[in-house]
Amino acid sequence: MTQAPETVFGDDVVAKAQELIGRYPESRSALLPMLHLVQSVQGFVSREGIAFCAEQLGLTEAEVSAVATFYTMYKRRPCGEHLVSVCTNTLCAAMGGDTIYQKLSEHLGVGHNETAGEPGEPGSITLEHAECLAACDLAPVVQVNYEYFDKQTVESAVELVDKLRNGERPKPTRGAELTDFKTAELQLAGFFPEDEERFAADVDGPSAAEETLRGAALAQERGWIAPPMPEEGSRG
């Protein structure tokens, strides 16, 4: 009898995969979080990871690959300890995002989706330019493992990645405390620390900025309200 090849997806990962499946009425609906689970183990979606998802969900590898290659959040090469995303969409680009990305690329000696250092090792950084990160009011923005660092400059962005390379974890502008890429992926898969009180403290942080709420504040100050909806049947 041929012995099955060893796999990085042990019993604990299989148990998490089955828990994910149980959260949905159809097993295939668990594919997106399952891919995040794979990345929490390997730091990317490998061929082995695709086969694992297909086996657990009763899908073909082609079906899993189609999803994994469609979304940019699923990486096909091993990521560093930290994923640094620089928004280069229209507003961030105009406000300096393009310049920030170019400087970080030169400073780290890598291009888009390339890693400075040995992937997964402490201090390693994968750099990417990203489409809109939904923070135009705080442009230009950088994310580290999907946590926001707002109103960046070339100097502050370089300082940020240097701290990451030195093992520091600077506090994001908003949201949870900074962690590493694999831990962030596990949370995106839907698994959090067993100590819920500690986890609540970890994620207890501001999620909105003054700029974000300025329109609502102006409306309140000036008594602006939305026009009423037309009565049913009165539309022309």
- Structural domain includes residue 30: yes
Is 125 part of a structural domain of the chain? yes
User: Looking at residue 2, what is its pLDDT?
Assistant: 33
In a domain, 4, yes or no: no
Among 133, 159, 180, which residue terminates a domain?
180
The tens digit of pLDDT for each residue in 164-211 reads 999 999 999 988 889 999 999 999 999 987 655 555 555 566 677 788
Query: What's the pLDDT score for residue 101?
Result: 98
Q: What is the pLDDT of residue 201?
A: 53
Kindly indicate the confidence band of residue 234, based on its pLDDT and cuts at 50, 70 and 90: low
Shared domain check, 23 and 99: no
Residues 98 and 171 in one domain: yes
pLDDT > 90? residue 159: yes
Q: Could you tell me if 144 and 102 lie in one domain?
A: yes
Q: Are residues 174 and 90 located together in one domain of the fold?
A: yes
Instruction: State residue 114's pLDDT score.
Output: 96
Domain that holds residue 44: 11-68
- Average pLDDT over the chain, rounded to an integer: 90
CATH assignment at residue 151:
3.40.30.10
- Give the number of domains in the chain: 2
Could you tell me if 115 and 143 lie in one domain?
A: yes
Cα 73 to the center of its chain, rounded Å: 7
Are β-strands 82-87 and 125-130 bridged in parallel, bridged antiparallel, or unpaired?
parallel
Measure the CA–CA gap between 100 and 154, rounded to whole angstroms: 5
94-122 per-position pLDDT tens digit? 999 999 999 999 999 999 999 999 998 99
Strands in the chain per DSSP E: 82-87, 114-116, 125-130, 142-144, 147-149
Asked if 62 and 118 sit in the same domain, the reply is no
In a domain, 62, yes or no: yes
Out of 180, 206, 221, pick the residue that ends a domain: 180
- The answer to the question of residue 156 being in a domain is yes
**Chain segment 61-102, per-residue pLDDT in tens:** 999 999 999 999 999 999 999 999 999 999 999 999 999 999
Q: Are strands 142-144 and 82-87 parallel, antiparallel or unpaired?
A: antiparallel
206 domain-assigned: no
The residue from 153, 180, 207 where one domain ends is 180
